[in-house]
Amino acid sequence: MRVRAQFMMVMALDKCIGCHTCSTTCKQAWTNRTGTDYVWFNNVETKPGIGYPKHYEDQNRWNGGWTLNRRGRLKLKSGGRIKKLMRIFANPDLPTIDDYYEPWSYDYASLTNAPKSDRAPVATAHSRLTGEEIDLQWGPNWEDDLGGAHERYLEDPNMRGLEEQITLDYENVFLMYLPRICEHCMNPSCVASCPSGAMYKREEDGIVLVDQNKCRGWRFCVSGCPYKKVYFNHVTSKAEKCTFCYARVEDGEPTVCSETCVGRIRYIGIVLYDLDAVTEVAATTDEQDLIEAHRDLFLDPHDPEVIAAAEVSSVPHDWIEAAGRSPVYALAKDLGVAFPLHPEYRTLPMVWYVPPLSPVVDAMSVGGYDAERPEDVFAAIEHMRIPVDYLANLLTAGDAKPVETALRRLTAMRAFKREEQLTGAGNESLAADVGLRPDQLEHLFRLLALAPYDERYVIPTSHREETGARQSEHCSIDFPGGPDLAATFGLEESNMVMPEADTSRDEDGRVRLNVREAPPR
Amino acid sequence: MNNVSMPDILLFLVLPYLAMATFVIGHIWRYRYDKFGWVSRSSEIYEKRWLELGAPLFHYGALMVIAGHMLGIIIPESFTEALGISEAQYTLVAQVGGVTGLVICLSGMVILLLRRVLNGRVKRATTRIDVAAMSMLWLMVILGTLTTVGYNVLGPGYNYRPSVAVWWRSIMLFQPDVSALNGVPEIYRIHITVAWLFLAMYPFTRFVHSWSAPATYLTRPYVVYRHREPSPPHTPGVGKRWRTIGRD
């Protein structure tokens, strides 16, 4: 077992008010440059909708992410190494600027320079690519609050299997917001797609980055990412992506999008996981089992064995301690209310979502039900397929059960706290009904409703003392015949053992990860 | 150095070595000062339909043409003769292969040129160094076409292997023999001269991405992990004057 720590974000979608503050602050911080004018490391989509870039979720069209070959091994959906290199001169899966939107500005000068006239002067839109006047047909957030949805509603891939009900039920349409950043996946297909080896995952914290000096602009990362969260800077001809604001996170500060989130929907923490198990989990046969397998990959930070193994794997002590207080571990695993976006892409994404109860509640009030009565909400979750199945297509590879469980837990938490405030004591059977303990409901309430700053963000600072500045790092005690840490902890030399051939090799028989042993301390 | 005129010495002795020096030093310098600009400068994001047709045609055609040139000037005539390949047979193979590569390459170039001129986005993203590089490439390829098709296939024909190839090898081995070029048709001389100028220009253009052909992708592990750098990471795009190469 090689234990690694990884940053993870959870967003509670019920609290997202669709204000786009995260997007604009991110843009101001990172992508307000020529070349990244069309790039939003963070964007907020209105769902149902086709998204940004258009139809990005349709992997039959874009071939992003991973799939399984006939022997059940992972392979890139867009094809293997040789196929990629043969197509390096023109990447067939690459979106064009029109799939995002053509960036534009306005000739504001015409407002102040206009001659006297009876009519108000107008600033026309000019393309930032050609300088010519353009007729705006699409732009960032074109679909905001279901704008134009009547034309493209059914093009949303998550609508599969729901087309008929939606047509019947269009008057009672629901909407939700989906803020998206890079998923900083555990099994990143963008990294695997990069021919230059310029993309990498940081071993200390799992953040996925692009080495700007190594990137040669081959563009396969852009098409390899099923979430289309790697972008092509058309001025520098290099890939750029969300950095998880690593410069802030290393200092213990949350990302810009989280810090500025008005609804306080975002949670950042770390999870511990076993690096050697990643490939096996990503290759889980049934895509509906992926979430459970992914959750099992997160190690219990309170388990003494896990803690000892983490120490052996050189995870800093304060990081292990932070993993124990991680709000994301609580929401994703302990409380079981958060899910990854499109687990079926097999990249093991690390930005998870607490599904929103509001579409269900909205639909209920249209039907004349009382959204305050848990029995009514439970019945609605069971019977109103549209929001639940839609959420399942989005978050659980189409499996409605986990989404139902999470929505029930959210309902139970509300009812429990409501009753507690009205009568002085919550109904404990409500907790048992949804498979939680009362203290877990309390924890859920504290995280989601109170959401204190230092409980939403449990971010251990990076250890810069380990960057080679100290003499001891050049004169390590970790040498043959030196002090044996593994023996000290009563463990086998697990961090030195190469994983079994089955789990560490790709469909073409090559070793998957370039990590061989624990990093030097 | 008997029977060699002064212009010949300048064009086929001085120019080649100047071009080679510029080529080598230029690459080292570009890599050190404009590593950040060492990219493919793809315009696929602006326009895809014509690029998907033109770019593979051009690149694969160019690779065929380059391979043909290499075979023609590296391998001595005596070697193919020793293998029992006659001059006529060699010429036939060279002409069929050469013309095939040329047609593929040129059709790609036509498509890409039209695309670059007609598509406003791509046109706007074209820099002065791109224009210079493409003009030189076009000139070189047109002259090469005149040499192969105009002179060899349709014209009188010329066996360049005892003359041009011998001279090229002599230059490469630093034992220059310019007199080997005596009697070589003018069209060859012009093509060769333009080619040296093209090579001298090469390190300063987007063509440098050819050296970054990512062969290591075939063998490296899929998922790359990195530790934190032991020293502060290098700032991209250092070197004031050179950061504008191809991007102004």
Is there a cis peptide before residue A53, judged by omega within 30 degrees of 0? yes
Interface of A with B in 431-490 (CB under 8 A): 462, 464, 466-468
Helix (H) or strand (E) holding A444: helix A438-445
Q: Does A466 sit within 8 Å of B39, measured CB to CB? A: no
Please give the residue of chain B at the shortest CA–CA distance from A504. B221
CB A469 within 8 A of CB A36: no
Q: Does A213 sit within 8 Å of B228, measured CB to CB? A: no
Q: CA A81 to CA A194: how far, in whole Å?
A: 10
Q: Which residues of B touch A195 (CB under 8 A)?
A: 214, 217
CB A363 within 8 A of CB A384: yes
Min Cα separation B183/chain A (Å)? 40
pLDDT tier, A81 (very low <50, low <70, confident <90, very high otherwise): very high
Is residue A521's pLDDT more than 60? no
CB A41 within 8 A of CB A241: yes
List the single best residue of A207, A237, A466 to mutate versus B (max B Cβ within 10 A): A237
Rg of chain A, C-alpha, whole Å: 24
Please give the residue of chain A at the shortest CA–CA distance from B41. A237
pLDDT of A136: 92
Q: Does A512 sit within 8 Å of B214, measured CB to CB? A: no
Residue A308: C-alpha distances to residues A6, A311, A487, A491, A497 (Å): 17, 5, 11, 8, 17
Is residue A487's pLDDT more than 60? no
Please give the residue of chain A at the shortest CA–CA distance from B57. A89
CB A197 within 8 A of CB A213: no
Q: CA A407 to CA B205: how far, in whole Å?
A: 58
Q: Give counts: helices (H), strands (E), chain B.
A: 9, 1
List the single best residue of A33, A77, A89, A462 to mutate versus B (max B Cβ within 10 A): A89
List, as one string, the DSSP characters of B138-164.
HHHHHHHHIIIIIIIISSS----TTTH
Q: CA B106 to CA B120: how far, in whole Å?
A: 22
Burial label, A337 (beta-carbon count in 10 A; 0-12, 13-18, 19+):
buried
- Which is more confident, A389 or B108? B108
Span A58-78, pLDDT tens digits? 999 999 999 999 999 999 999
Q: Which residues of A touch B56 (CB under 8 A)?
A: 87, 89-90
Span A251-307, pLDDT tens digits? 999 999 999 999 999 999 999 999 999 999 999 999 999 999 999 999 999 999 999
What is the arithmetic mean of pLDDT over A35-40? Answer: 95
- Asked if A187 is an interface residue toward chain B (Cβ–Cβ < 8 A), one would say yes
Span A112-127, pLDDT tens digits? 898 998 999 999 999 9
Q: Does A129 sit within 8 Å of B120, measured CB to CB? A: yes
Is residue A153's pLDDT more than 90? no
Domain B6-222 fold is Fumarate Reductase Cytochrome B subunit (1.20.950)
| Closest Cβ opposite residue B212 in set A187, A191, A216 | A216
| Closest Cβ opposite residue B225 in set A130, A131, A515 | A515
Q: Does A513 sit within 8 Å of B221, measured CB to CB? A: yes
- Asked if A195 is an interface residue toward chain B (Cβ–Cβ < 8 A), one would say yes
CB A209 within 8 A of CB A246: yes
Pairing label, strands A3-12, A351-354: parallel
Beta-carbon contacts of A157 under 8 Å, excluding residues fewer than 6 positions away, are A55, A57, A58, A393
> A126 - beta bridge partners?
A105, A133
Token pair for A105 = 């500005």
List, as one string, the DSSP characters of A407-438.
HHHHHHHHHHHHHHHHHSS--HHHHHHTT--H
pLDDT of A152: 77
Span A320-352, pLDDT tens digits? 999 999 999 999 999 999 999 999 999 999 999
Q: Which residues of B touch A219 (CB under 8 A)?
A: 42, 44-45
Q: What percent of chain A has pLDDT over 70?
A: 88
Backbone angles phi, psi at B5, to 5 degrees: -80, 160
pLDDT of A254: 97
- Which is more confident, A363 or B39? B39
3-state secondary structure at position A88: coil
Span B210-245, pLDDT tens digits? 999 999 999 999 999 988 765 544 445 544 444 445
Lowest mean pLDDT across A477-491, B72-86, B162-176: A477-491
Beta-carbon contacts of A75 under 8 Å, excluding residues fewer than 6 positions away, are A66, A67, A68, A69, A506, A507
pLDDT of A416: 92
Burial label, B103 (beta-carbon count in 10 A; 0-12, 13-18, 19+):
middle
Q: CA A417 to CA A413: how far, in whole Å?
A: 6
How many beta carbons lie within 10 A of that of residue A115, not counting itself?
5
Is residue A91's pLDDT more than 90? yes
| Closest Cβ opposite residue B230 in set A84, A131, A467 | A467
Q: Does B236 sit within 8 Å of A213, measured CB to CB? A: yes
pLDDT of A517: 58
Q: Does B214 sit within 8 Å of A216, measured CB to CB? A: yes
Q: Which residues of A touch B105 (CB under 8 A)?
A: none
Is residue A14's pLDDT more than 80? yes
CB A130 within 8 A of CB B47: no
Min Cα separation A453/chain B (Å)? 28
Span A391-441, pLDDT tens digits? 999 999 999 999 999 999 999 999 999 999 999 888 889 999 999 999 999
- Asked if A101 is an interface residue toward chain B (Cβ–Cβ < 8 A), one would say no
A-B contacts at Cβ under 8 angstroms = 151
Min Cα separation B55/chain A (Å)? 6
pLDDT tier, A171 (very low <50, low <70, confident <90, very high otherwise): low
Span B238-247, pLDDT tens digits? 444 444 454 4
Domain limits of chain B? 6-222
CA angle B35, A227, A254 (to 5 degrees): 75
pLDDT of A215: 93
As a whole number, the mean pLDDT across chain A is 88
pLDDT of A158: 85
Span B139-192, pLDDT tens digits? 999 999 999 998 988 988 888 999 999 999 999 999 999 999 999 999 999 999
Q: What is the b/e burial string over A127-140, where b = at least 16 CB atoms within 10 angstroms of the residue's CB?
A: bbbbeeebeeeebb
